Amino acid sequence: MTAKKKPSVTAKPAAAPPPLYERRKFERVGIPSAAFAQDATGHELGSVLETSGGGLRLSPASPWARLSLKKGQQLMLTIVEPATGNATDVYVEVTHTGHQTVGLRFL
């Protein structure tokens, strides 16, 4: 009597199910450069971490910068890219504030 050899089975990781609801309209793009945001008075608010067609996410430059931004607040920012010297004004609304990031929606 010979024992039957079991076929080898290699488990493949299950594919992640598609999200039930995708709330983002635009893909986020990481910013590898040192771009930063300034308020209208020239105070640096923080580094730009990500951007998309709908807004951007900042890492606050200081506790003052984080506390100066309130949810629902609308303001004009200047995004500065030091490597190229480009500066672009954008109008945004604060959508969320956290200890490490601030979310802003383009107006």
Q: Are 78 and 56 in contact (CB under 8 A)?
A: no
Name the CA dihedral angle for 6, 7, 12, 14, rounded to a multiple of 10 degrees.
-70
The secondary element (H helix, E strand) that includes residue 89 is strand 86-97
Q: Residue 95, class by beta-carbon neighbours within 10 Å (0-12 exposed, 13-18 middle, 19+ buried)?
A: middle
Q: Is the pLDDT of residue 85 over 80?
A: yes
Of the pLDDT bands very low, low, confident and very high (cuts 50, 70, 90), residue 75 is very high
pLDDT value for 53: 84
Instruction: Sketch the domain layout of the chain as residue ranges.
Output: 29-106
Chain segment 38-58, per-residue pLDDT in tens: 999 999 999 999 888 889 999
CA dist., res. 9 & res. 61, Å (int): 52
Domain 29-106, CATH number (from 3.40.50.2300, 1.10.3720.10, 2.60.40.10, 2.40.10.430): 2.40.10.430
User: For the ranges 10-14, 59-63, 98-102, which has the lowest average pLDDT?
Assistant: 10-14
